[in-house]
Structures are given as C-alpha cells and as structure tokens.
Amino acid sequence: MSDLLAPGAINPYDFLEIDHLVSAEELLVRDTVRQFVREKITPYAGEWFEEGGFPRALIDEMGDLGLFGMHLDGYGCAGTSAMAYGLACTELEAGDSGIRSIVSVQGSLAMYPIWAFGSQAQKETWLPSMATGRTIGCFGLTEPDSGSDPGAMRTTARLENDEWVLNGTKMWITNGSIADVAIIWAMTDSGVRGFIVPTNTPGFSATDIKGKMSLRVSITSELILTDVRLPLDTVLPDVTGLKGPLSCLNEARFGILFGAVGAARACYESALAYATERIQFDKPIAAFQLTQRKLVTMLVDVNMGMLLAVHLGSMRDAGNLAPEQVSFGKLTNVAMALKTAREARSILGANGITLDYPVIRHMNNLESVYTYEGTNEIHTLILGQAITGISAFG
Ligand code: TGC
Ligand code: FAD
C-alpha cells in the first residue's frame, strides 16, 4: 500500500475515500491490525503456505491484540462495533484467508454460541480464556455426508444415566486438532443441540486432513466422537434446532464478506505494482490498454466490494441486518475476490504461479472461502428464496 502521494492526487489504494465512511476508532482498529499483518503475517505467509500450518505463538499474539470475539461484550472481549470487526477481517485476510479463518472460527463460531446461548457458568468458564487465545475453540457442524445440508447430520447425543453420550464424525473442522474445546452440534430427541466438548474427553479424537492445496496456513481436521460422555451442563441451554448453528454462521459470514475484500485488495495491489515495473516491448505492461482494463476492473470491483461491506457493517451496527443480507455480501464479495485473484494472476504471468507473490496463494485460498460458510450455490438459493418466497433447496 502506498503512503506517499502528490497533494490532491487520487489515492489508487482508497480511490473512493471509503475511509471517510467509518469512525476514527474503527480506523484505529483497522490500522493496528493492518500493521500487525504487514509485520507478522505478510512476510511469512508464503513460507507457511508451502510448509502447511502456522506458528502457535501467532494465536497468542492475536489474542493479545484483542482480536478474538472482539465484537462481543463482556467476559474479556473487546466489545468493538461490528464494523471494526469487519475491518479487522479485511486486514487479516489481506494477509491470508487462513489467518482470518482462525479469528472467524474462534470468535464467531466457538465463542459466539457460548456467549449467545450458554449459561452464565459456561460463559464465565470459557470466554475469558478464549478471548486471550490461550484456549482454542473449533466448531463442528459439517460431516462427511452432510455439508450444505446440516439438517441431515448423523452425529447423535443421547441421555444416559444423567450424562450426554455423543457419537459421530465431523469433517473439515478448522483448528480441530489444536482446539482445547469443540462446539459440537448433534441430533437429540428434541432436535439439534450444541455441546461444549473439552477435546481431552475420552472418546474424542482429531486427525488433520492432508493434501490440501488451499487454506494451507490453516489446520483442517476430522473429528471422531465415540461414546463421548459429558455432564448435563455441557449442553448450550438457550437454543434448540438448526437456528443455533445457523446463527453462528451469520456472524462468521459477516466477517468473511469483509475479509474477502482484503484478499482481493492484496491481489489488486500486487498486480498494480507488478504491472508498473514489468517491462515488455520496451514498456511497462501497465502501459498496455488490455492490462489497464484488467487493473481498472479490479479497482472497481474491490471498491464496490468494500462499499458493500461497509454498508452492511453500518446496517449491522444499526441492528437491522438480516441473514439474507449477509448472504448477499458473502455471495458477492467472495465471487468478486476469486475473479480478481484470477485476473491478477494473469498480469503476473509466470511469476504469478509462484509463492514469491501472494496472488496464487490468495487464489487457491479463495476456492475454500467460496465453498465454506455456505457455498456460492447455497447463498444464491437463500437469495432466490428471499425474493421469490420459493425454496429451491430440495
Ligand atoms: P431451514 O428450515 O431454512 O431453517 C431451520 C431453522 O433455522 C432458521 N434459520 C436461521 N437462523 C439464523 N440464521 C440463519 N441464517 C438461518 N437460516 C435458517 C430457520 O428460521 C429455522 O428456524 P426454526 O425456528 O423454524 O426451526 O433450514 P434448512 O435445513 O432448509 O437449511 C437451510 C440452508 C441450506 C440455508 C442452511 O442449512 C445452510 O446455510 N447451509 C449451509 C451450511 C453451511 O454454511 N455450513 C458451514 C459450516 S461452518 C464453516 O464452514 C466454517 S469455515 C471456517 C471459517 O469460517 O473460516
Ligand atoms: P456439498 O454440500 O456436498 O456440495 C457439493 C456441491 O453441490 C457444491 O457446489 C454445492 O453448492 C452443491 N449443492 C449442494 N446442495 C445443493 C443444492 N440444494 N442446490 C444446488 N447445489 C447444491 N465446517 C464446519 O462445520 N466447521 C469448520 O470449521 C469448517 N471449516 C472448513 C475449512 C475448510 C478449508 C473447508 C474447505 C471447509 C470447512 N468446513 C467447515 C466445511 C464447509 O462448511 C463445507 O465444505 C460446506 O458447507 C460445503 O459442504 P460440502 O463440502 O460437503 O459440499
């Protein structure tokens, strides 16, 4: 990102002066996270991607910055606006989607259900240490045979001698093998319930999924629960039914609709810098009309994506953002980011396929982001239902 511009020049990195639409406090959060990402993530992300994984200490550092559950109140959480949370996600995902995923999963998928649906004792037990990152959480909804259709889950929880007994398999679970606690959604006689499962409970095991070509700076695991016996007070008391996990997804999808703009912006900036330096036919490739069209398309798309995110952020802070509007943002901004990454990759030519530049890493990551938290097709159908009143899922 350029910091030096001629007075009066339009800033290619904030072309529409979107910064003016958010408060000084929110910009401070944004700039703090941006600096953290520039120093602690961007220089190393290619290496982490190649190796697969990230240093555990990074989670502690993100906890010290107050990033986990930052938009929640109390219990050691920062209590920022939703806009500030969104802007933080933009910066984190400009570093790597996997890093934003850690924050989404910890804050929106593991802490939020305890915060929203937990008992007072559950909140006091878990949230303060999760806010610091010293306790890591994961969220188990997806199963090998139920992804888009979580209502078809096979994991069960049954009551036996004043204990809950859980059995089942959860698949594609971010941070599964490093989590201290898992929020597991299971079918009971009264419908879907959420359970707070310490991962050292006998019968719980986690194995990492290997061979991923996407989200490599992120751990993805399979969880197996075999006769996992839990005290009665491990169930989340205040929600029954699919609306429990789906409410958590609203939180995380909100972060993603901001985050995807960060990945797109990083690709645009990389392509813009490359195009002004790379010489072919005695000219920088930025001098060719076809390259300029690509750069301008990216500029427009990234700024439109940010405007959309900031608009949805304002709605959220005003308390009137519907889940379908979150779907609008997730659908649009992730598709935009993937398209932008592919366009940027073409500008970088052969260099674009290497990890020396961030573009192919973002492009591969965005394939996961396109699929998780509701696929592009599922969000299309959510919007289709919202405007026609007709469900086309089944
Ligand atoms: P449906 O009959 O429509 O609804 C069941 C109940 O849930 C309520 N509901 C919601 N509540 C809150 N927020 C939402 N977004 C909600 N959507 C629905 C609904 O009102 C109803 O409540 P009630 O009281 O009447 O029982 O449910 P369905 O089975 O037809 O499914 C609808 C569908 C397909 C949209 C939903 O299942 C869906 O979103 N599927 C996608 C699954 C998904 O996104 N999985 C993500 C797993 S986590 C993950 O990917 C983490 S990635 C890591 C990272 O974030 O970085
Ligand atoms: P499927 O549901 O089998 O879908 C396959 C294809 O069919 C998709 O194109 C889909 O859109 C399409 N399709 C399905 N139904 C319909 C329909 N009705 N109409 C039209 N098309 C349809 N899950 C968790 O619970 N916790 C996590 O922490 C987590 N982390 C993840 C991390 C990564 C890196 C990845 C890749 C996934 C993660 N997931 C997690 C799982 C993720 O949420 C699922 O992959 C996602 O919900 C899609 O499910 P699926 O992969 O089983 O695909």
pLDDT tens-digit map of 81-96: 999 999 999 999 999 9
Task: Indicate whether residue 140 lines ligand 2 (CB < 6 A).
Answer: yes
Closest CA to 227 of 260, 252, 205: 205
* Residue 39 annotated to the active site: no
Task: Indicate whether residue 371 lines ligand 2 (CB < 6 A).
Answer: yes
- Name the closest-CA residue to atom 31, ligand 1: 149
The answer to whether 233 touches 122, Cβ cutoff 8 Å, is yes
Rounded to whole angstroms, the Cα distance separating 87 from 29 reads 8
Q: What angle do CA 41, 47, 48 make, to 5 degrees?
A: 65
Rounded mean pLDDT of 210-224? 98
Q: Where does ligand 1 bind, in terms of residues with CB under 6 Å?
A: 101, 104-105, 139, 141-142, 148, 150-151, 174, 241-243, 246-247, 249-250, 252, 323, 372-374, 378, 382, 393
Rounded to whole angstroms, the Cα distance separating 1 from 35 reads 11
Confidence of residue 14 (pLDDT cuts 50, 70, 90): confident
Q: What is the pTM of this model?
A: 0.97
Rounded mean pLDDT of 159-163? 96
Give the three-state DSSP class for 17.
coil
Query: Which tens digit of pLDDT belongs to each residue from 283-315?
Result: 999 999 999 999 999 999 999 999 999 999 999
Q: Which residue has the higher pLDDT, 14 or 161?
A: 161
Query: Which tens digit of pLDDT belongs to each residue from 325-349?
Result: 999 999 999 999 999 999 999 999 9
Q: What angle do CA 66, 70, 74 make, to 5 degrees?
A: 100
For the chain, list the domains and their CATH numbers. Answer: 2-132 (1.10.540.10), 137-234 (2.40.110.10), 243-388 (1.20.140.10)
pLDDT of residue 2: 46
Which sign does the torsion angle of CA 64, 69, 73, 78 carry? positive
